[in-house]
Amino acid sequence: MHYSTTVPHVQNRAEERAEDIAAHRLIEFSQLAGPVTDAPFDQPYRVAFRGVRARADRGYRTRSGLVVAANVAVELGFVCWLLAPGHLPATRGGGWVLAANIVVVASIALVEGLRLINVVSLSLASVLARDPIPVRPAPGIRVAFLTTIVPGKEPVEMVARTLRAARRITYDGVLDVWLLDEGNSPEVAAMCARLGVLHFSRKGIAAYNTPSGAFKTKSKHGNYNSWLDSYGREYDVFLSVDPDHVPMPNFAERMLGYFRDPDVAYVVGPQSYANADNFVTLAAESQQFPFHSVIQRAANAYGAAMLVGTNNAIRIDALASIGGLRDSITEDMATGLALHTRRNPHTGRRWRSVYTPDLVAIGEGPSTWSDYFSQQLRWSRGTFEVLGSQLWRCLHRLSPGQLVHYGLITSFYPSMALGWILGAVNAGLFLWLGVRGITVPPQLWLALYVDATAFQTWVYIRNRRYNVSPVEREGSLGLPGMAMSVIAAPIFAAALIAAVARRPARFVVTPKGSAATGDRLSTFRWQLCWAALLVSGLVFAVFRGWAVLEVVMWPTLAVAVCLAPVVLWRAGRRAAPADRSVEGPDRSGGRTRGRSAKAGEQLLSGEHLVEAGRVASGTGPLRPVGPIIGGPGGSRAPRPSGPAPGGPHPAGPRPAGSYPGGPRSGSGGHRPPRPYPVSATVEMTAVRRGGSDDPGSVEGRAS
């Protein structure tokens, strides 16, 4: 009896300890770039950077350079040895045998060349990585905080959690919180009214729901561009997070200061998942490490950090100069690239971007294989779209450094997809036709390949010291993330095949929370199809006597990769019943760790974000966003949906390049960026007119 009464207390203390650790890690990771400083007064401000190792001496830089050079040299040496003329097969009589061997040799050269590009990318990034030095925001910047909701795909309570956290953002100035509702849901509108948040919807407005272009229907960029066209000119900068990401109270403090530099178009921070309590989410979180912890930091050397939609701050005048967010299923990447190819019309210099390692928001990642594959399919397909169209057309407008950087960061998905497809083609030629392609001693080839791979893995692990995720354990080697990249290779291959075949791509919202998609056997259809093809080839090779080590090794490993997620899913289903009585259903195909799940829920609820904000600011109690003008209890009535009839801005889309900071009625050209600080403020009063079906109007005046 005594045992049963004390165990809950011990468990509660353990949970409280886990929650305290989580809160302290949030505080630590929200200030990775260092303390906020004052901007210089005696000279125009330009963003300043420091190396990720603030005390890095010349010896460290020399050692890092030697490691990079050695890593590239090992991979290059392996490729040259593998493709040496003496290793090419002797063919007699030409014909299809010669053609097949040429295909095999060419594909091996291409795959190893792409692997070399990845080696160069990570190695170069580890040397160039640097962080911006935070400065205080300039006074007078008018700020809007934006997030979206697709009713039915994203739970209302999840979005309410994000909005409540947004209302706690500390900022000494105009900061309005907006929700962009794709469904114009009465439930969502009521939630906004209750929380004191402004509500916007383009539903039912034909001009804002076009088949393609800036206002494409059922797309994230169309939703944002509709709001920008209606209300964007009332603000200088908008802060943005995905609806499943909870902003930190110091979001504005850590992001807005860099806009003192007039050429900064946007600032972006890392993405992190608080619900990493199952294998899928944990591995997806770890998979992001090279990009957010190393490659994005290296992009600061070129002023070319990639725009990531999960959390960012964007100068509205910069966005107006390119006609708004781009029409793409990965609108963030396409928009960032477009900005980097244009110049600030006010200064004549290139638009630049800044990446800060500060964790300004923490979110919810895919928790099922279905949602993870959907996410990766969209990301990879978007990258292929940008590579196949936008990037090639604007190469001449990128600086040399930006050109190199974009070439390297966009190589990941193509290298993984082509590696998988060409590996399967080679395996088919090996297994079905007995074509060898390259003749090398298998033991020597395996030894050299393992050595080259081990060296690359060592460089990867060496860079783990620069981790920007608070949910990854100290000393983690990131092995789940590496495994997840390999597991997703068939998905990347499917995206590449669809892009080459020009199949229509559509924006698909990754379901979150209670709307998460459950897994079933059909979830793994791509993996199972590849596995069936490879297994049949292996059986045929054994029957024909071609099943030697160098022939069967790749297809055997590929079959294991295809079946791994299926095995993990089945194992999770068997383990789930034992956990459901205590921790709820596990939809991820992996066991849920109770304390981690509890800590994750606390992080996403925003309870620890308040404490993190108090400690991080060093000013005691939080000073949240001030009362919104109007409505009861200091909260303004929700902004009516759609463009304001009779308001200061005409309804309907404006020509590309003229919105959202474009001309007012009867004026020409676009508005040049305002020099900061901004002295003007905007007073807006929401006026509700007519019955419940009347969308109302907004009267605005600038003073």
Question: Which of 42-51, 96-105, 350-359, 477-486 shows the lowest per-residue confidence on average (mean pLDDT)?
Answer: 96-105
Mean pLDDT for 238-248 is 95
Task: Considering only residues 439 and 340, tell me which one the structure prediction assigns the higher pLDDT.
Answer: 340
Sign of CA dihedral 288, 219, 149, 140: positive
The string of DSSP codes covering 131-153 is EE--BPPPTT--EEEEEEE-TTT
Q: CA-to-CA distance for 429 and 541, rounded, in angstroms? A: 10
Q: Give residue 421's pLDDT.
A: 92
The string of DSSP codes covering 228-285 is HHHHGGG-SEEEEE-TTEEEPTTHHHHHGGGGGSTTEEEEE----BTT--SHHHHHHH
Q: CA-to-CA distance for 621 and 481, rounded, in angstroms? A: 38
Q: CA-to-CA distance for 156 and 182, rounded, in angstroms? A: 13
Residue with tokens 């190695």: 123
Q: Give residue 101's pLDDT.
A: 73
Query: How does pLDDT run across 334-345, given as a tens digit for each residue?
Result: 999 999 999 999
Highest mean pLDDT among 168-172, 422-426, 449-453, 471-475: 168-172
Mean pLDDT for 131-148 is 96
Q: Is the predicted pLDDT of residue 180 greater than 50, yes or no?
A: yes
Q: Is the predicted pLDDT of residue 125 greater than 80, yes or no?
A: yes
Q: Give residue 524's pLDDT.
A: 95
Q: Give residue 529's pLDDT.
A: 93
- pLDDT tier for residue 692 given thresholds of 50, 70 and 90: very low
Q: Of 286, 311, 274, which is closest to residue 606 (Cα–Cα)?
A: 274
Q: Of 537, 533, 532, 525, which is closest to residue 494 (Cα–Cα)?
A: 525
At 617, which amino acid appears? S
Q: CA-to-CA distance for 420 and 595, rounded, in angstroms? A: 38
Question: Which of 96-110, 117-131, 539-553, 573-587 shows the lowest per-residue confidence on average (mean pLDDT)?
Answer: 573-587
The chain-wide mean pLDDT, for the chain, equals 77
Q: Give residue 106's pLDDT.
A: 80
Q: CA-to-CA distance for 476 and 474, rounded, in angstroms? A: 6
Give 267's strand partners.
Answer: 313, 354
Q: Is the predicted pLDDT of residue 373 greater than 90, yes or no?
A: yes
Which DSSP category does 34 fall into? Answer: -
Q: Is the predicted pLDDT of residue 159 greater than 70, yes or no?
A: yes
Q: Give residue 128's pLDDT.
A: 87
- pLDDT tier for residue 647 given thresholds of 50, 70 and 90: very low
Q: Give residue 48's pLDDT.
A: 95
Residue with tokens 């379901």: 511
* Cβ count near 15 (within 10 Å): 15
* Cβ–Cβ < 8 Å for 71, 123: yes
Which DSSP category does 280 fall into? Answer: H
Q: Give residue 381's pLDDT.
A: 92
**Secondary element (H or E) of residue 461:** helix 442-462
Q: Is the predicted pLDDT of residue 153 greater than 90, yes or no?
A: no
Q: Give residue 467's pLDDT.
A: 83
**Residues whose CB falls within 8 Å of the CB of residue 108, separated by 6 or more in sequence, listed in order:** 82, 83, 422, 426, 437, 438
Phi, psi (5° rounding) for residue 529?
-65, -45
- pLDDT tier for residue 578 given thresholds of 50, 70 and 90: very low
DSSP helix/strand/coil, 459: helix
- pLDDT tier for residue 409 given thresholds of 50, 70 and 90: confident
Q: Is the predicted pLDDT of residue 253 greater than 70, yes or no?
A: yes
Q: CA-to-CA distance for 191 and 195, rounded, in angstroms? A: 6
Query: How does pLDDT run across 11-46, given as a tens digit for each residue?
Result: 455 455 555 556 777 888 999 999 999 998 889 999
- pLDDT tier for residue 4 given thresholds of 50, 70 and 90: very low
Query: How does pLDDT run across 587-607, given as a tens digit for each residue?
Result: 444 433 333 444 455 555 655
Mean pLDDT for 154-165 is 94
Mean pLDDT for 162-171 is 95
Q: Is the predicted pLDDT of residue 583 greater than 50, yes or no?
A: no
- pLDDT tier for residue 400 given thresholds of 50, 70 and 90: confident
Q: Is the predicted pLDDT of residue 1 greater than 50, yes or no?
A: no
Q: What percent of the chain has pLDDT over 70?
A: 71
* Cβ count near 555 (within 10 Å): 25
Q: Of 357, 362, 259, which is closest to residue 314 (Cα–Cα)?
A: 259
At 152, which amino acid appears? G
Q: Give residue 604's pLDDT.
A: 59
Question: Which of 287-296, 456-465, 511-520 shows the lowest per-residue confidence on average (mean pLDDT)?
Answer: 511-520
Query: How does pLDDT run across 512-553, given as a tens digit for each residue?
Result: 555 566 889 999 999 999 999 999 999 998 888 877 777 788
- pLDDT tier for residue 693 given thresholds of 50, 70 and 90: very low
Task: Considering only residues 91 and 658, tell me which one the structure prediction assigns the higher pLDDT.
Answer: 91
